[in-house]
Amino acid sequence: KNEVEQSPQNLTAQEGEFITINCSYSVGISALHWLQQHPGGGIVSLFMLSSGKKKHGRLIATINIQEKHSSLHITASHPRDSAVYICAVGANTGNQFYFGTGTSLTVIP
């Protein structure tokens, strides 16, 4: 049983396209995180959110606590956005994060 499910697993887009990655979770959370992992493995934290919506540049993250769902949007996608995007939730019981298996995004010039 996976506490965090991401979709799609793989995504290929043309440069400039609007991209959406979805995350559904089954546990009570105190926060949800979106992480970016580039080839070579380094992790970058993109967003931490517990309600509503956050925006940073071309990236937008939303969360619906009632529906236990979050989305990561990338506007005007660029080849440098190619990476694996990981959704992680921090359980509100403490001591634990649950991670999705990631969405591999490839943006073609």
Partner 1 sequence: DGGITQSPKYLFRKEGQNVTLSCEQNLNHDAMYWYRQDPGQGLRLIYYSQIVNDFQKGDIAEGYSVSREKKESFPLTVTSAQKNPTAFYLCASSISWMNTEAFFGQGTRLTVV
Closest alpha carbon to 89 in 10, 18, 34, 9: 34
Is 41 near partner 1 (CB under 8 A)? yes
* Of the residues 11, 21, 23, 35, which one makes contact with partner 1 according to CB under 8 A: 35
Task: Give 38 or 55: the residue with its C-beta nearer to partner 1.
Answer: 38
Report the C-alpha gap between 89 and 73 in whole angstroms. Answer: 18
* Of the residues 61, 102, 103, 107, which one makes contact with partner 1 according to CB under 8 A: 102
**Residue linked to tokens 């995504």:** 11
* Of the residues 7, 12, 26, 96, which one makes contact with partner 1 according to CB under 8 A: 96
